[in-house]
Amino acid sequence: IRDRFQVYGIPYNLTDRFSLSTSPPVKAILGFLEIIENDYYYKNIFRALSSGFLQSMKIDLSHLLKASAELKIISGYQNWVEKISAAINYPESDAIQKNDSKSIKSYQNALTDLRKIEQQLKPFSGKLKPDEFRERLLDLIFKLNLPKILLNATANIAENDTIAFNTFLKVLDEVISLTKLEYGNEEKFSIYFY
């Protein structure tokens, strides 16, 4: 319709509606927060980090996937750290038959990547006031270079994703305002609430 109307010079107002739940940058940031909400459940980690919007963290998912599969890690940050550390420090006691230097290096990389994730999510580990949550989320967004990644995308993708992400930020402000209105600004909530 757009192309035909432009060819014939017909004025039109055609707007596209996109659900925020289908927007890749919004899914990436919400998925990243779900990692801490669900205590480092392996599916949340892989889902959040497989999008191209968190590439600034420079995490190689293959190492985490290998560690998860071989060491049978499902969830729990401490569980991840303990099992990977045990595989690195005591390779002979591990269930893996072939623990050569390549496997140990892969586990070391997985542990490093896991700590990068934990470092980014640490500000969300306790209960937060509404304004604290908003500020920490905006800090995370800028630390992950999401605005830059959005603007460097191709034109058709950048337009939709930028509009969706802008809408997400507006919704965030509205939700925080409503939360402060209902509970006050001194009440603290966990990441699950937000």
Predicted confidence at residue 98, as pLDDT, reads 52
Most confident of 17-21, 56-60, 125-129: 125-129
Contact 36, 140 (CB under 8 A): no
Cα distance between the two ends of the chain: 40
- Crossing angle, helix 42-49 and helix 61-71, to 10 degrees? 160
* Contact between 48 and 91 (Cβ < 8 Å): no
Which residues, including other chains, have CB under 8 Å from residue 175's CB and lie 6 or more apart?
194
Is the pLDDT reported for residue 95 higher than 50? no
Residue 59 above 80 pLDDT?
yes
* Average pLDDT value for residue range 100-112: 88
Compute the average pLDDT of residues 1-12.
Answer: 78
pTM: 0.79
8 Å CB contact between 39 and 194: no
- Model confidence band, residue 79 (pLDDT cutoffs 50, 70, 90): very high
Contact residues for 5 (Cβ-Cβ < 8 A; gap 6+)? 11, 12, 14
121/97 Cα distance (integer angstroms): 34
pLDDT band at 164 (very low <50, low <70, confident <90, very high): confident
pLDDT surpassing 60 at residue 94: no
Task: Check residues 119 and 54 and name the one with the higher pLDDT.
Answer: 119
